Structure 1
Amino acid sequence: MPMSTEVIVAGGGPVGLLTAALLDAAGVRVEVLESKAGQSEHSKAAAMHPRTLEILTVLRTDDGRRLSDVLVSLGRPEPATHFAALPDLLDYSGLDTPYPFLLVIPQATTERVLADHLRRRGVPVRHGHEVTGFTQDDDGVRVTVNGGVHEARYLVGADGARSVVRREAGIDFPGTPPTTVGFVADVTLADPPDRVRHYWDHRRGQASIIPFPDGWCRVFGTTVEDTGLTPEQVRTRQSQALTVEEVRAALRRVTGTDHGLCEVRWLSKAGDTTRQAARYRSDRVFLAGDAAHVHFPAGGQGMNIGMQDAANLAWKLAAEIQGRAPSMIVDGPAAYERERAPVAARLATNTLAQGALFTTFTPAGAALRDLMSGLIAKGGDTADDLAAWLSGLGHSYPPAVPGHPLEGRRAPDLALAAGSVHRRLAVDRFLLADFTPDAAFGHLRPHGAEVVQALPWSGLSAALIRPDGYIARAWTAPDAAGVSAALEAWTSRG
């Protein structure tokens, strides 16, 4: 007898909530189990990058709005963002995306929007439900929750850095130990800056202030004394609760003033532990977000990469559940782990490098920062590559089979005869964009794909675009047989 729930998502943060929302959009029965008693009011992350906003465009509200547009209305777009708090910023304003900006938005707001969407869709989000273990066999998984059992066909562990799902699956989490402790606080300031400000001094430390749209400010940084530590020293310092007086003192020391710090709603400490799961899948169990990778919190990338994990996983898992997944996306070259693990590995390299630029409080560190900031200010390849990475727009996947250079790359929001690519995407189908003036592929009626007429682009006759917005195949000649074969390979169970 079919199980009433097809997927259990452990973890009610942005990664878990988005995974559930995308699976639901594909027609999968899903529930979310979160150990906390209610939606968190605290925000570890405070920034959303363009690629994540593009992903959220696939989800519609009851009144037809896209979740990306809802979030933009609640946040504050910034045309530029920092790399390692360097003085010269990366310019997002010219990026080829409908969202050429960094969106400053508290994670709590993002979670609320996603949770509201799931509630309206009738998807259960069960707070106070702590996952303590699971068993699995060929038929499904049985998840132990608050002493009882929930059953499903699959389990997604989006339950954070200390993931119970990862531990119970026996998946190793290797990496590098911490050497630094930073402070993080959400506060009100009597004298806040009018924009994001970053301060750095090799004799004192680093501090940043990010004004939120609601009048609060995110304050974070590291003092010189909290770097170059042993793992044991890091654990000891992290076990000691951060106080508001410590935050005031750090701000005064690094910036010269505490900016009139008044009220505090959240205080925390952050380390630079860097780890990545040895596997992202164990039979019927998957890992996503912090359960799969943790790193130095630089540039707001963690939440964004985790939500992009969700976008990659959801359409593939939905296809597997619904019996339409070719081996290519289950355990072949386009499988979830094969595509996302390299992204997390590059993220680790990126954030370790930023950590060095943040916390090398020496004259040599200051010189390196000046050099890097100057390269960004010049523009060109260095600035373009960093902007492409942080924004998420530069991520690409190795093509499943050798072909056109565009294969594996993100599809821009290409103009269609009606609408645009990003607003036509759906979690449960591919798009076949027909660029020919005479609609040479318009006669095709493929299962699992929609044929759309597109305006000319990049000399192509057609492109097969995956549900997550990446180009699966591309053709310059009107090769009907090749297109049909590709549709079969990507959308039919072999």
Structure 2
Amino acid sequence: MPTTDTHPAAADTDVLVVGAGPTGLLLAGDLAAAGLDVTLVERRPAGRSSLTRAFGVHARTLELLDSRGLADALEATGTPLTRMRLFGRLSLDLGRLPSRFDHLLVTPQYEVERLLEERAAAAGVTFRHGTALRALRQDADGVTAELTGPDQTPLTLRARHLVGTDGHRSTVRTALGLPFPGTSVIRSIVLADVRLADEPAETLTVSGSGDTFVFLAPFGDGWYRVMGWDRTRQVPDDEPVGLDEVRDLARRALGTDHGMHDPRWLSRFHSDERQVPAYRVGRVFLAGNAAHVHSPAGGQGMNTGLQDAANLSWKLVAVHRGEAPDPEALLDSYQTERHPVGATVLRTSGALVRLAMARTPAARALRTLAATVLGTLRPASTKALATLSGLGIAYAPAPGGGRSSGRRAPDVRLREGRLHALLRAGEFVLIAPEGASPALPSIAPTTAARVVRATWPDPARRTSVLVRPDGHVLWTDR
């Protein structure tokens, strides 16, 4: 556990974010855009790397990026995928998603990071690259972080809150003394960035046999990412990878290696399923891979982290502004809402990878049954789509929040414009009937002066709805 500081000092920054991946960048940008003083520290030196694992941005994440004015720019960097193929035979129609973004956007993680970093910098975030956390201690008023800067220069920063978004080897989590229970779900995964002589017919290629599995996706600049696994070759992560091994995997799983050549990166890793029991310890929070890691099946990792950040940011803003009726309860709701989501992602991604790796006759029969049910029963496939895309995420209603609070608010058309466009102000949006001026409910962690007010285009609609900055309904009067 972190030590307690008996001699608190004044804060150098409102919030210290540790880790400049997608989760940390979105969080820092949100906080700074709302007027908070934010410092973001990153162990790596300045400059983005194209060596990235995440390649899919799901519909719910695109909605969150849309409410920050970034989705259209990101869409221009990638390719929309309207169908997702699972187990080699099941094809899920993403065009059925009830969203403006009825697809999976295939684009590399570094494009997401680029847009989020530009936004964070424009909002005034202070970046400290080449800086690592060594220890932290907290008291009733804030958190003191002991850091090591460039050239091993010691540095101490004081913040009112600290958020660890520093990945699966999180130093913040370690400093808190929190366990990270779980297990390795798949070992000896091969990664490679290559050129191809023959372009694949599909944007996203996923295929496998009982012993092999290969995923192939484009960067969009002529380079392709290959991820492969071979049941018969389970070796340590530090075992060298050669292009011949990657080619052999592709030929066995895909029937062709597409003329792979000129690799710029070859690596091997393993995938864990782990989740920290507490996303909050006092004034310190964990988000993204610092809080949960899971198999890459379904492409939900980066998406879940970005959604963590969107959930936490507005709550920290409300507390720092002094607008939360019950600050501790509001901050605790981050754990209450996001921990179950992380657990669900672990279950679904784990089920997908285990079915894909099915070897025994019983396991393969179960995979066939799952594919048949999802392929023939529309309610089952609808639920699967809602889970994978994130559109199905709904939080428990807040006390006094009305019968339907907690659900995701769709991007409805209002007289003042689309709801998700109105959310770009980073504030709550109150939608009311024409001529009505409903008072804010007592549970609202904001002031009337900050609320964006909007009107239903249909005069016959008499419901009033208060939408949170993360696009979920806080309150409705019906």
- Please give the per-residue CA displacement for 1:28-69, whole angstroms capped at 9, x wherever unaligned: 11121110123222111011001111111232xxxxxx2111
In structure 2, the CA distance between the partners of 1:226 and 1:354, relative to structure 1 (3 Å rule), is: farther
Residue 15 of structure 1 pairs with residue 23 of structure 2: yes
Tell me if structure 1 keeps the 8 A contact 2:32–2:38: yes
Tell me if structure 1 keeps the 8 A contact 2:429–2:451: yes
1:129 match: 131
1:487 match: none
1:333: Cα distance to partner?
Answer: 9.3
TM-score normalised by L of structure 1: 0.87
In structure 2, the CA distance between the partners of 1:86 and 1:126, relative to structure 1 (3 Å rule), is: farther
For residues 372 and 86 of structure 1, the distance between their equivalents in structure 2, rounded to whole angstroms, comes to 12
1:276 match: 275
1:70 match: 73
1:63 match: none
2:51 match: 42
1:418: Cα distance to partner?
Answer: 1.7
In proportion to residue count, which structure has more strand? Answer: 2
* Alignment-mate amino acid for residue 237 of structure 2: Q
* Alignment-mate amino acid for residue 312 of structure 1: N
For residues 236 and 349 of structure 2, the distance between their equivalents in structure 1, rounded to whole angstroms, comes to 22
For residues 200 and 108 of structure 1, the distance between their equivalents in structure 2, rounded to whole angstroms, comes to 27
For residues 101 and 257 of structure 1, the distance between their equivalents in structure 2, rounded to whole angstroms, comes to 27
Q: Secondary structure at the match of 2:137?
A: strand
* Alignment-mate amino acid for residue 436 of structure 2: A
2:435 match: 439
**Paired-residue identity, %:** 39
For residues 295 and 459 of structure 2, the distance between their equivalents in structure 1, rounded to whole angstroms, comes to 39
* Alignment-mate amino acid for residue 266 of structure 1: W
For residues 135 and 85 of structure 2, the distance between their equivalents in structure 1, rounded to whole angstroms, comes to 40
Matching of residues 368-383 of structure 1 within 5 Å:
368-383=366-381
1:352: Cα distance to partner?
Answer: 1.3
1:144 match: 146
Tell me if structure 2 keeps the 8 A contact 1:208–1:220: yes
1:307: Cα distance to partner?
Answer: 0.2
Tell me if structure 1 keeps the 8 A contact 2:173–2:290: yes
For residues 460 and 299 of structure 1, the distance between their equivalents in structure 2, rounded to whole angstroms, comes to 40
For residues 324 and 15 of structure 1, the distance between their equivalents in structure 2, rounded to whole angstroms, comes to 25
Match for residue 91 of structure 2 among 77, 89, 92: 89
Q: Secondary structure at the match of 1:132?
A: strand
In structure 2, the CA distance between the partners of 1:175 and 1:459, relative to structure 1 (3 Å rule), is: farther
* Alignment-mate amino acid for residue 87 of structure 1: R
For residues 86 and 312 of structure 1, the distance between their equivalents in structure 2, rounded to whole angstroms, comes to 35
Tell me if structure 2 keeps the 8 A contact 1:315–1:427: no
1:107 match: 109
**Structure 1: gaps spanning 5 or more residues:** 60-65, 228-235, 477-494
**Structure 2: gaps spanning 5 or more residues:** 1-8, 149-153, 441-446
In structure 2, the CA distance between the partners of 1:164 and 1:442, relative to structure 1 (3 Å rule), is: same
In structure 2, the CA distance between the partners of 1:79 and 1:419, relative to structure 1 (3 Å rule), is: same
Tell me if structure 1 keeps the 8 A contact 2:206–2:214: yes
1:489 match: none
1:491 match: none
Tell me if structure 1 keeps the 8 A contact 2:431–2:455: yes
Matching of residues 289-328 of structure 1 within 5 Å:
289-327=288-326
Tell me if structure 1 keeps the 8 A contact 2:358–2:367: no
Tell me if structure 2 keeps the 8 A contact 1:47–1:102: yes
In structure 2, the CA distance between the partners of 1:157 and 1:346, relative to structure 1 (3 Å rule), is: same
Residue 241 of structure 1 pairs with residue 240 of structure 2: yes
For residues 356 and 424 of structure 1, the distance between their equivalents in structure 2, rounded to whole angstroms, comes to 41
Residue 168 of structure 1 pairs with residue 166 of structure 2: no
Q: Secondary structure at the match of 2:323?
A: coil
1:458: Cα distance to partner?
Answer: 11
2:443 match: none
In structure 2, the CA distance between the partners of 1:32 and 1:94, relative to structure 1 (3 Å rule), is: same
Tell me if structure 2 keeps the 8 A contact 1:314–1:427: no
Tell me if structure 2 keeps the 8 A contact 1:316–1:330: no
RMSD: 2.3
1:300: Cα distance to partner?
Answer: 1.2
Tell me if structure 2 keeps the 8 A contact 1:272–1:355: no
2:37 match: 29
Q: Secondary structure at the match of 2:136?
A: strand
In structure 2, the CA distance between the partners of 1:158 and 1:370, relative to structure 1 (3 Å rule), is: same
For residues 77 and 127 of structure 1, the distance between their equivalents in structure 2, rounded to whole angstroms, comes to 33
In structure 2, the CA distance between the partners of 1:117 and 1:448, relative to structure 1 (3 Å rule), is: closer
For residues 7 and 25 of structure 1, the distance between their equivalents in structure 2, rounded to whole angstroms, comes to 13
For residues 81 and 426 of structure 1, the distance between their equivalents in structure 2, rounded to whole angstroms, comes to 30
In structure 2, the CA distance between the partners of 1:312 and 1:82, relative to structure 1 (3 Å rule), is: farther
Tell me if structure 2 keeps the 8 A contact 1:76–1:212: no
- Please give the per-residue CA displacement for 1:222-253, whole angstroms capped at 9, x wherever unaligned: 212257xxxxxxxx611323332221221122
- Please give the per-residue CA displacement for 1:413-451, whole angstroms capped at 9, x wherever unaligned: 0111120111111565211111x3x42227889244232
1:124: Cα distance to partner?
Answer: 2.2
For residues 409 and 284 of structure 1, the distance between their equivalents in structure 2, rounded to whole angstroms, comes to 27
TM-score normalised by L of structure 2: 0.90
1:345 match: 343
Residue 468 of structure 1 pairs with residue 470 of structure 2: yes
In structure 2, the CA distance between the partners of 1:162 and 1:388, relative to structure 1 (3 Å rule), is: same
For residues 104 and 439 of structure 2, the distance between their equivalents in structure 1, rounded to whole angstroms, comes to 41
For residues 186 and 60 of structure 2, the distance between their equivalents in structure 1, rounded to whole angstroms, comes to 31
For residues 30 and 90 of structure 2, the distance between their equivalents in structure 1, rounded to whole angstroms, comes to 37
1:198: Cα distance to partner?
Answer: 2.1
1:402: Cα distance to partner?
Answer: 6.3
- Please give the per-residue CA displacement for 1:114-154, whole angstroms capped at 9, x wherever unaligned: 11222333322222111122122223222122122122211
1:365: Cα distance to partner?
Answer: 3.5
1:336 match: 334
* Alignment-mate amino acid for residue 156 of structure 1: V
